[in-house]
Structure 1
Amino acid sequence: MVSLKLLLLTVCLVKLLSNYLVYGNNLLYRELGCTSILTENSDAGAYDCGNFETRSADKCYFYGKAYDLNQELSDADSITIPCYAACKCRSTSFKGENVASFRCANVECPSLFNRRPAEPCYYQYEKDNCCEVKTYCPETKSTVYQCEYDNIMYKEGEKIYINNNICICKPGFNGTINNDWCREIRCNNEINNIKSIIAKGAPVYFKTSEGCPIEWLNPENIPGTAGKFASAGKSQIVQKCKYGSLELLVGQELEIGDLSDSESYKTTCSCEIPPFITCLKQIKS
């Protein structure tokens, strides 16, 4: 029988992932402005993130744009992350040094604390809003505009996840990614996890790396050692993954001890696409 603890952890993870269903691991590198290093098959086998190492410690960065201390995130950038509010560049202490990082308020949606409305009522959303904009109760099902995507029907105002975008069912929707009804989902690692990135921590994904990290492992709190090779490394990739000062070759596992949730979840880490380690968390059967 599934324990109450496991059930609650699963519910929390599902809620956390509801906005991040379709991102890939490579988007972390894109967010940091890293340059891809292609293999002989033209795949991104590794990334060069040297530009991150040379960033100014007294500036915050958002998708390549620099902000001075005490400067607020611009309206143009804020609208791309509607689940955050009042983001401002602040100075904080990390490893005895001052580091600039954004501090934001999290937008809490009423639907997170309430039961879903009973049929035929449902929540409606808009592209540039984090939360539901209203609860709509149609008089009859036939009065509701519907969209079809991937053989699934959606009612007007419902979210549709397409690749790394949240799209909204509305008149005119044709299944393509269009600014009229879609916005890109962003992982916002530079806002949430800048200290872990600086420390060369490891992003942790739920079940598959086709998603935003749900947490990061910090090498100072969770030490690791180089383990066996879980898969054959790409011989032409000479770049290594780093976990703190530890270096691993492509295909090599990172051995870590038990985590606080090890009773219910299994976390495995390995070097897939340097320079960051990739960790996957799965529910134990």
Structure 2
Amino acid sequence: SLGVSIKELNKCCPSRRLVCQEKLPRCEYKEATYYDDTYFYAFKDAVCVKCLCTPSFNGILKEPWCTEIGCDLEIKYGEELANGCAPIYSEDSCCPTRWRCPTPKDYVKRADTPATEEAGVCQFGDLVLNVGDSIMPANVVTCRCNIPPYVVCY
């Protein structure tokens, strides 16, 4: 037997129970497997949700397994937003994990297929990007104008 910490979606502290490791339940969602008592993030109707894998999870992103989370960008990252920085998103979270701020060395790499004027533009520091354009140098992350008016990085 193995002692396992058991989380509850809206509780601060886990409890413990004994479980045989080979009997740990698993959840399947969008071709990914999650083990019992682990969190995963997903989007439901363009809203970020945090879900807890439990034996009763039925693949539907709603309570009691999932809860909407707000990233509170304006509250937590007001300085980054004021400085024109772009959020960097990772695959394991729907809130930004880091930020990419404008530098004097940045320039725009135009998309192979130009966007229409109706598509709008994104602002990154002093640079103006059309939909599909990227910020260079790319360094570690790719930053692109996908949905104006904001540049996002991943």
| TM exceeding 0.5 | yes
Task: Note the 1:136-285 alignment, pairs <5 A.
Answer: 136-138=17-19, 140=20, 146=25, 148-150=27-29, 152=33, 154-155=35-36, 157-163=37-43, 164-170=48-54, 172-206=56-90, 211-219=94-102, 222-256=103-137, 266-280=140-154
Distance 1:212 1:161, change over 3 A: closer
Could you say what secondary structure the match of 1:272 adopts? strand
Q: Which residue in 2 is equivalent to 1:123?
A: 5
CA RMSD of superposed structures (Å)? 3.3
Name the % identity. 27
The CA deviation at 1:132 is 4.8
Q: Which ranges in structure 2 are unaligned for 5 or more consecutive residues?
A: none
Give the TM-score of the pair, scaled to structure 1.
Answer: 0.42
Asked if 1 retains the 8 angstrom alpha-carbon contact of 2:26 and 2:35, the reply is: yes
Distance 2:94 2:105 in 1: 23
Asked if 2 retains the 8 angstrom alpha-carbon contact of 1:145 and 1:170, the reply is: no
Q: Deviations over 1:25-73 (max 9, x none)?
A: xxxxxxxxxxxxxxxxxxxxxxxxxxxxxxxxxxxxxxxxxxxxxxxxx
The CA deviation at 1:235 is 1.6
Asked if 2 retains the 8 angstrom alpha-carbon contact of 1:125 and 1:159, the reply is: no
Higher strand share goes to which structure?
2
The CA deviation at 1:141 is 6.0
2:25 partner letter? Q
The CA deviation at 1:183 is 0.9
Q: Which ranges in structure 1 are unaligned for 5 or more consecutive residues?
A: 1-118, 281-285
Distance 1:211 1:187 in 2: 8
Asked if 2 retains the 8 angstrom alpha-carbon contact of 1:201 and 1:276, the reply is: no
Distance 2:34 2:97 in 1: 29
Give the TM-score of the pair, scaled to structure 2.
Answer: 0.70
Q: Deviations over 1:145-174 (max 9, x none)?
A: 83543474743x443544332223446432
Q: Deviations over 1:177-200 (max 9, x none)?
A: 222221123323122211222232
Q: Which residue in 1 is equivalent to 2:16?
A: 135
Asked if 2 retains the 8 angstrom alpha-carbon contact of 1:154 and 1:160, the reply is: no
Higher helix share goes to which structure?
1
Q: Which has the higher contact order (CA 8 A, sep 6+)?
A: 1
Q: Which residue in 2 is equivalent to 1:17?
A: none
Asked if 1 retains the 8 angstrom alpha-carbon contact of 2:88 and 2:97, the reply is: yes
**Paired residue total:** 147
1:191 partner letter? I
The CA deviation at 1:238 is 4.4
